[in-house]
């Protein structure tokens, strides 16, 4: 087993996925029986993320949190269904990542719109930094894997971002949540840069 695979194995995301599989796999088998395609779940997850962004923009934070969690459920189910049904494909993986970026953008738009309307320049700055960090975390992995280096490492992958933002919305504590996101996403991006540097030297 390589060093990369060890690091992939012990991420928080990997740990949660293993636990959630016991719940998601029976649901995915039911969805398979009624003819649901994984790409439909991917698209539905994106739609619910957009709805969440709209609620956040209108200052209905807890409703935004609810639709964000629904979006997360669909996002978790699409990959499980694809594996269960033997429908994994390169396009499906591409569509999932493609719509994930737009989903995050919808959420950040809702946050930055709300902050702008309320004149919260501190939150505007934190949303911007969080958005940059999130983009760079995803880009670092995609670019590294394009170079043949596994890069599913770091403290704040998409799952951690989802959890922190959901809690911040539910508790209506956006400053704290966005501060954590702004700090940890950018730290994770640099973690991945260091990981690629070290991997390239091996």
Instruction: Identify the pLDDT of residue 11.
Output: 61
What distance in Å separates the CA atoms of residue 21 and residue 31, rounded to the nearest whole number? Answer: 15
Enter the tokens of residue 132.
């940059």
The number of angstroms, rounded, from the C-alpha of 164 to the middle of its chain's C-alpha atoms is: 11
Residue 14 pLDDT > 70 = no
Q: Rounded mean pLDDT of the chain?
A: 88
Least confident window among 71-80, 128-137, 166-175: 71-80
**Three-class DSSP category at 36:** coil
Nearest to 169, CA basis, from 90, 89, 59, 95: 59
Question: 88-147, pLDDT tens digit by residue?
Answer: 888 988 999 999 999 999 999 999 999 999 999 999 999 999 999 999 999 999 999 999
Contacts of 166 (CB under 8 A, 6+ apart): 65, 68, 69, 72
Range of the domain at 89: 3-201
Torsion of Cα atoms, 60 then 65 then 68 then 73, to 10°: -150
- The CATH number of the domain holding residue 172 is 1.20.120.1760
Instruction: Identify the pLDDT of residue 124.
Output: 97
Contacts of 151 (CB under 8 A, 6+ apart): 140, 141, 144, 145, 192, 195, 196
Least confident window among 52-66, 67-81, 167-181: 67-81
| Confidence grade of residue 8 (pLDDT, cut at 50, 70, 90) | very low
Instruction: Identify the pLDDT of residue 33.
Output: 82
Residue 71 pLDDT > 50 = yes
What distance in Å separates the CA atoms of residue 156 and residue 4, rounded to the nearest whole number? Answer: 17
Number of domains in the chain: 1
What distance in Å separates the CA atoms of residue 154 and residue 186, rounded to the nearest whole number? Answer: 10
Average pLDDT for residues 64-87, to the nearest whole number?
Answer: 89
What distance in Å separates the CA atoms of residue 163 and residue 16, rounded to the nearest whole number? Answer: 12
E-assigned strands of 7-77? none
Enter the tokens of residue 121.
């320049």
pTM, two decimals, is 0.85
- What is the chain's length? 202
Enter the tokens of residue 167.
């809690």
Question: 33-53, pLDDT tens digit by residue?
Answer: 888 888 999 999 999 999 999
Residue 164 pLDDT > 90 = yes
Residue 55 pLDDT > 70 = yes
Least confident window among 16-25, 52-61, 88-97, 162-171: 16-25
Residue 31 pLDDT > 90 = no
């Amino acid at each position: 087993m390589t060093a990369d695979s060890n690091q992939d194995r012990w991420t928080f995301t990997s740990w949660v996925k293993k636990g959630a599989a016991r719940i998601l796999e029976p649901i995915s088998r039911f969805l398979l029986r009624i003819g649901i395609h994984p790409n439909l779940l991917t698209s539905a997850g994106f739609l619910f993320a957009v709805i969440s962004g709209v609620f956040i923009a209108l200052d209905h934070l807890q409703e935004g949190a609810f639709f964000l969690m629904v979006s997360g459920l669909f996002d978790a189910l699409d990959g499980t269904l694809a594996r269960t049904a033997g429908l994994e494909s390169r396009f499906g993986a591409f569509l999932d990542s493609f719509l994930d970026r737009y989903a995050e953008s919808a959420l950040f738009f809702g946050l930055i719109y709300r902050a702008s309307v309320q004149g919260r320049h501190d939150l505007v700055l934190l949303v911007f930094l969080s958005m940059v960090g999130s983009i760079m975390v995803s880009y670092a992995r995609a670019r590294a894997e394009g170079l043949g280096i596994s890069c599913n490492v770091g403290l704040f992958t998409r799952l951690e971002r989802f959890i922190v933002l959901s809690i911040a919305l539910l508790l209506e504590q956006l400053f704290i949540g966005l501060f954590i996101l702004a700090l940890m996403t950018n730290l994770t991006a640099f973690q991945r840069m260091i990981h690629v540097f070290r991997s390239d030297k091996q």
